[in-house]
Amino acid sequence: MFLTMDDFNFEDKTVVLRVDINCPIDPSSGEILDDKRIREIKKTVNELINKNAKVVILAHQSRPGKKDFTFLKEHAKRLSKIINKNVYYVDEVIGERAREKILSLKPGEVLMLENVRFYSEEVLSDWKKWEKITPKKQAKTILIKSLYKYFDYFVNDAFAASHRAQPSLVGFSYYMPMIAGRLLEKEVKILSKVVENPENPCIYCLGGAKAEDSIKVIKNVINKVDYILTSGIVGNIFLIAKGYDLGENYNVIKNMGFENLIEEAKKILKEYEDKIYTPIDVALNVNGERVEKELNGKIEYPINDIGQKTIELYSEIIKEAKTIVANGPAGVFENEKFALGTIKLLEAIANSKGFKVIGGGHIGAAAELYGFADKIDHISTGGGATLSFLAGEKLPVIEMLKESYKKFKKG
């Protein structure tokens, strides 16, 4: 259970709104290439404006060392266009100008502060051991101690970062109610449905390179789904587990640190082989050209996509499904010669009459790129967060929302 925006009167209250508007950016020009995540927070921001709240947005863009690690000035401009209202921007988070601007806000106004990851406290947190990072500890950071006194409520709409326990994501909950924003609320509701109570036949299409996460997802949902359709690195791991000789593709898996997952795949196959589908043919990269090959004999070249027979088989299974969850592309879709598998599976999903959910990241980008997004019931804004949720893992932000409900609901 969460505290929701329906539970509070925001009239003339100052609200700190944590969002995830981490966008693809052209490093050379600084141009935002895809503003989907900014568009997704529109509902929450507009509702707070309409309820006459004073809205202060905290967000991040990339992380130190990355080429797209930059200021949030362009994000504020883009949000202004999306909500058709000026969003003030200050290139500080805890500085004097930021604090003065917060104090000067009028009801219905919106301010975006600077990239919180410019502050070391936000990036040094060991979020993988988040259970040891209590809100109380994060509340004692300079970032939170400098700002909490200016706010009445903390609205968290950063689902895509909910698998992290950084100060701006959980620290304010020690001092004030932590409330689920509309996007986060929607994400949890839909993803909970496809994990806990999917309508059958239910299939999961798992591809891409995040094999460790995909294996965790399989183990969490295997008893509630009818079929798992594998492709990408995930599919290669299961092919090796079945005994196929993939040549140099095995070394790719080994170099990625996934060799141990082959044994995990063998264990899954031993008990659930009838539910796990692997490619029956593949598309090889032979000197830059697409060459399709059935899985007989040793594979001598890099596997860059699934083959036509696999596409047809998977598409037929998708056609009959009532719940479809997809994460990760079927191949190296960035190269048009190896985009066929990803395109055709997305097309089958889009044309299905079932309830369709796809993850964020590459598969979500592909859906937008090839024009299938409007036919998908839900495209998650999360990448790692979505996979962690589907895997049944505890997400720090979600856990803190539950704790805040227990602490503040009565009041």
Segment-wise mean pLDDT, segments of 10 residues, the chain, 411 residues: 94 98 89 92 98 98 93 97 98 97 98 96 66 75 96 98 93 96 98 95 95 96 97 97 96 95 97 97 96 93 97 97 96 95 97 94 89 96 92 93 89 55
Report the phi/psi class of residue 170: left, alpha or beta, with left for phi > 0 and alpha for psi in -120 to 50.
alpha
Alpha-carbon span 158 to 286, nearest angstrom: 42
The CA–CA distances, whole Å, from 370 to 207, 303, 374 equal: 18, 22, 11
What 3-state class would DSSP assign to 320?
helix
What pLDDT sits at residue 212? Answer: 95
What tokens does 233 get? 């690195």
What pLDDT sits at residue 22? Answer: 95
Q: Is the peptide bond before 201 cis (omega within 30 degrees of 0)?
A: yes
Question: Which residue ranges make up each domain of the chain?
Answer: 3-184+394-408, 200-353
Measured N-to-C along each axis, helices 361-369 and 340-351 cross at an angle, to the nearest 10 degrees, of 80
What 3-state class would DSSP assign to 409?
coil
CA dihedral over 391, 393, 396, 401, signed as positive or negative: positive
Fold of 3-184+394-408: Rossmann fold (3.40.50)
CB proximity list for 407: less than 8 A, separation 6 or greater: 177
Alpha-carbon span 373 to 387, nearest angstrom: 19
What pLDDT sits at residue 270? Answer: 96
Beta-ladder partners of 306 = 282
* The CATH classification of domain 200-353, taken from the options 3.40.1190.20, 3.40.50.1260, 3.40.190.10, 3.40.50.300: 3.40.50.1260
Alpha-carbon span 371 to 346, nearest angstrom: 10
Q: Do 3-184+394-408 and 200-353 agree at the fold level?
A: yes
